[in-house]
Amino acid sequence: MISHVTSFKLVVLGSLLALFFVTTMFSQGAEVGDIGVISGSVQLDVQTYSEDTLIEAPAVNEKMLSNAFVNLLFTKGKFTAGLRFESYQNPLLGIDSRYGTSGEGTGLGIPYRFASYVDETFEVTAGNFYEQFGTGMILRSYEERNLGFDNSIDGIRLRFIPLTGLRITGLIGRQRAFFELSQGVMRGGDISADFATLLDSLLPDDLQLRLGASVMSRYQPDRNDFLKLPENVLAWSLRSTIGWRDIALETEYAYKINDPGVANSNSFNPGNALYASLSYTRPGLGINLAAKRIDNMDFRSDRSAGGLAQQVNFLPPLAKQHSWRLITLYPYATQNTGEFGIQADIIFTIPKGSFLGLDETVFSINFSKVNALDTTNVSPFRYESKLMWAPREYFRDLNIEVQRKWGKDFKTTLAFISVKYDQDIIQGLSSDTEKKYGVISANLVVLELWLSVMRGHTLRSELQYMAVKHEPGVQFTTQNGSWIMGLLEYSVSPSWFFTVFDEYNYGNNDPSLQVHYPSASVAFVRDALRVQGGYGRVRGGLLCVGGICRPVPASNGFTLGVTYTF
């Protein structure tokens, strides 16, 4: 016998599919008479899995896993409503398995639905929404499907704009916890003022001044039999952006009362964070200097959550997010419980007609360094923290990139990246008082060539070499030692893309693991449709987006991805 809840889901799913097939007859949104406009998108990711003991690719009982999303949006004047249907059958490896087992345990549901009304001075949203206060140090709710990350808030949000340049936001609700809701209730407010707009006639034209203040709190009952935990956890932040002509200074300070939980090992220390960024820009030159100090600022809507689950805030990373494939073996993950980081970024262009010839050359230089905080434990639940950093270095990255055009049909990119990477801390493989895998030193050289073969046909190639050294006497993960990679991509504009590449772990400490990771894919794009399929080995490691990372298990199999917007 089918339950009432299951029957409702089947009706909703049938309605969604019927609505999808109707709207696909229209290119970009369907206008239904005078009723309104319906638009949306579809995404399907499928992967097959074959056991490969050589690279530690596990056996998967289902042989094939999939994630699917269907978004529907209805708009009529100032009113908007939408929903998202999600299917995890079962989640792709690396995506939290609770997407397939929470709620009713089917991996099917509508965890995101909302209705909103917006006019010139007022906005109300009921249901699920995403929000960010400032840089996100006390609140940033967003979705990143590649990470299996979605911390939307289900509740109500009000926004008031009494004057142009002044915005006041208030919200209350519970955060998404897979197909359920968090134990904690989130409440918050934000006010931001753009004085260059508010005081347009009083301030100089070249001056930009924006100030903001935010507050967030979580209520969660204390059911701990051994510790007295705060039921109401308050966090607040102050921020400013000051710009004068080519110079801009952005700062934000955040504070959170003591919030013992799984993520911070039940620390009763309060949390605080400071972020500052100074930038200078002019035609052909951009310079940015930034610093960040984080101390016990992991903030969640459920104190018992760990990993990526139910994170409330976002702490901006101070490390370049590399896209060259080999160096992504060693990406930096922000240490929410404590770190001190600095970064310098310089981009300058040597224009056409200079001493380098008729075409422009772009140089990019980036340096970042992240250390541990200087702390001393004073009890099992408290520690003292100094302002500056400790000698232990978590991460260091120096990268230089040169892009050069050689006429209209040929471009080159040459890159050098040098990384120091504390694998124990960044990947959470051991505590900060022990050493298992130690510090890795990696030096990467990349040469990318782009050639226009004929009108609409391009060929791109990459050659990457990464020399890797490990500390003596440490343990080794499956992927270790030096690598080399080659890639070829042929594009037929605007629809076809063919890619083959191979990664070779020739310097692995274990000769039996000196193996190849070949992969091939083909993609077809037409208007709003993209279909991509491929086959290959995938090495294990971390996938990071914006300093937030999740483990990616090694795999061997076929992949299929389909996206469509209507």
The DSSP 8-state label assigned to residue 231 in this structure reads S
**CA pair distance 62, 89, nearest whole angstrom:** 9
Residues 251 and 243: beta-carbon distance below 8 Å: no
Per-residue pLDDT at 7: 44
Positions in the chain whose pLDDT score sits under 70: 1-33, 355-357
* CA distances for 58 relative to 440, 549, 557, angstroms: 26, 21, 11
Per-residue pLDDT at 203: 83
What phi-psi label fits residue 429: left (phi over 0), alpha (psi between -120 and 50 degrees) or beta?
Answer: alpha
Per-residue pLDDT at 357: 67
Residue 405 CA neighbour count, 13 Å, CB half? 13
Per-residue pLDDT at 274: 97
Per-residue pLDDT at 355: 67
Kindly state the percentage of the chain with pLDDT values over 90.
81
pTM of the complete model? 0.89
Per-residue pLDDT at 175: 97
For tokens 């500056």, name the residue: 388
Residues 178 and 98: beta-carbon distance below 8 Å: yes
The 3-class secondary structure across 326-393, one letter per residue, is HHHHCCCCCCCCEEEEEEEEEEEEECCCECCECCCEEEEEEEEEEEEEEEEEEECCEEEEEEEEEEEE
Q: Where are the domains of the chain?
A: 125-153+161-316, 322-514
Per-residue pLDDT at 30: 57
